[in-house]
Amino acid sequence: MNFAAWKIEDLTITTLRTLAIDAVQKANSGHPGTPMAMAPLAYLLYKKILKHNPANPDWFDRDRFVLSAGHASMLLYASLHLSGYDISLDDLKNFRQLGSKTPGHPENDLPGVETTTGPLGQGIANTVGMAIAEAHLAKIYNRDGYPIIDHHTYALCGDGDLMEGVSHEAASLAGHFGLGKLIWFYDDNSITIEGRTSLSFSDDVAERFEAYGWQVIKIGARPNDLDALAAAIEQAKAEIARPSLIIITSVIGYGSPNKKDTSEAHGAPLGEEEVKLTKQAYGWPDDQFFFIPEQVREHMADIKLNGQRAEQAWNRQFAAYQSAFPDLATQLQVAMVGDLPAGWDADIPAFTPADGAPATRSVGGKVLNAIAAHVPNLVGGSADLNPSTMTYLKSSGYFAKGVFENRNVPWGVREFGMAAAASGMALHGGIRPFVSTFFVFTDYARPAMRLAALMKLPVIYVMTHDSIGVGEDGPTHQPVEHLTALRVIPNMTVIRPMDANETVEAWRVAMQHTDGPIVIVLTRQGLPIVDRGQFAPASGLARGAYILSPEKKTPDVILIASGSEVQYVVEAQSSLAQDKIDARVVSMPSWELFRKQEKAYRESVLPAKVKARLSIEAGVTLGWREWIGDAGIAMGIDQFGVSGPYKKVFPHFGFSAENVVARVKSMF
């Protein structure tokens, strides 16, 4: 076919559209409509706007682009392929197939994919964290003549993203902070799976975002107008005090004679006949599949070369920066690769029984501040609960518009948005994020925590008020099923320390843990500090479970507990000894860390020959059979809590040393 009369831009855009159509059709699964509509924007971004290097997708000062509308993944994959990323034509042909590099929704371990998206709203929420990270690092490290950190964060979202509640949390935060380098494109196509968006959505999106403090730019029904798109992007980039929303009114399934502007183009292949008709409408050969004209290859080839040149220029600038500001450069390099600086744990406190019985949340705050003094890229905050979660960094103020150098991020009452943005901070790099709220509110944060686990992001979640120990706040605030709910998430590590020194060790583990998120679960109420001269050292926490207090000779029973309930089994051990029952006490702060230990160690702590086992934990008992076996007793709370002083609530549910003793005796 002769393409001589075609503009090269139109030829490339049509290539993107037809690659998406063909991949979805071959897979017999996927979403062709949005790629068909938004191909002009994708072309413009990857060819002319984004600062990126396909030869090194992880170049630190690259622009970030997030496809929050992750169902339109073929738009991203086709753009990456034509731009020279390590995604081949065969990868496009294997779209949505087992083991392929092109899964149904983008996953961040693929070259050029910044975050795992699909659950709507989370991608744009991630970009808020990315923009926070860029703003913070730029304020800390940039010097006159050395804009070492200087990039934009872009996202493409749709109607579904903006319906999700987290989009409101994220957009409100971004506008409040004045994240001027954050730019979202809103594909306003008025179509959802069920039909027209008018069924359920009548927001004035422009007024909504203006109320959030965003610059709103309306392109109107010109999604194919490259000049209009480029002008809007330049206007957005010129606004440095506000994030920008560019509204593009598009036609989903553009070019399809029978399915454009319908929900049929959203989430299903066009069908063989409609594919043929659509290609004819484009003026494209209808008997060829995954067809890429050579002119398009040549046109897009310079993207990789230009990216390499841009990164080389940045490397030269960074070399000069190293000479001018060696200390800052070294600090930034450590942060960029995710290492811990030397001496990061030099001032972490240790505790003795003479320090009383502090709540582990209080101890956690002291440890956090001691670490933060030596880890300058430790940045985070709470969902309006710093006075209660004790997670305020005393050496800094609040992150705010115009003071991006500060390290305490005031997330407000936005648990989901907070957790999703923390993932974005971790994805951006250079920042070690932590976030905090009451443990019960992991219900609100859990969708973002799940994706953080899927991506193995080193986010630290500090969750306090961990049990019925919340007391008077009652069952609405007393988490009972939450430990189990988080433990079942793959790649998530949950740690529930028993006292001050285990809390210290929990933070040591968290800071060195880089292949997934960590949840440190802390108490509201005070806990006695175990005398480590009498009992095993708290460093055993790093192995998930350890023998806190051994038996005298041969164990008749093994008592296992986590957190605040360890005190009951320690006390019970002495009482049982008076009745000639030799008990071993095991502190088990983390199931996940224990599972990772070699079999010999696990057997040494929980020997299979000892069938008499009892676990106690102020939460649901589901899961404890793994550790106590069918013959063991699991003491827990398989119902909601009650309101009352915690010293009365615990015994009300049977949490006491006396009840432990009674339950053990019933086994013999």
Query: Whole-angstrom Cα distance, residue 204 to residue 56?
Result: 40
DSSP 316-354: HHHHHHHHH-HHHHHHHHHHHHTPPPTTTTTT-----GG
> Between the CA of residue 177 and those of 164, 168, 214, 593, what are the distances in Å?
21, 14, 10, 38
Q: Identify the three-state secondary structure at position 499.
A: coil
Number of residues in the chain: 668
Strand partners, 519: 461, 494
Which of 249, 160, 222, 167 shows the shortest CA–CA distance to 197?
A: 160
Catalytic member of 134, 164, 274, 415: 415
Which of 135, 122, 158 shows the shortest CA–CA distance to 41?
A: 158
Query: Whole-angstrom Cα distance, residue 150 to residue 147?
Result: 6
Report the 3 state secondary structure along 22-81.
Answer: HHHHHHCCCCCHHHHHHHHHHHHHHHHHCCCCCCCCCCCCCCEEEECCHHHHHHHHHHHH
Query: Whole-angstrom Cα distance, residue 592 to residue 339?
Result: 23
> Between the CA of residue 265 and those of 18, 123, 222, 271, what are the distances in Å?
14, 22, 19, 10
Which of 7, 1, 32 shows the shortest CA–CA distance to 288?
A: 1
Answer yes or no: are the C-beta atoms of 81 and 88 closer than 8 Å: yes
Query: Whole-angstrom Cα distance, residue 430 to residue 257?
Result: 48
Strand partners, 215: 244
Residues 6+ apart with CB under 8 A from 47: 12, 83, 299, 300, 303
Query: Whole-angstrom Cα distance, residue 542 to residue 89?
Result: 45
Give yes or no: 415 in active site: yes
Which of 91, 77, 92 shows the shortest CA–CA distance to 34?
A: 77
Q: Active-site residue numbers?
A: 415
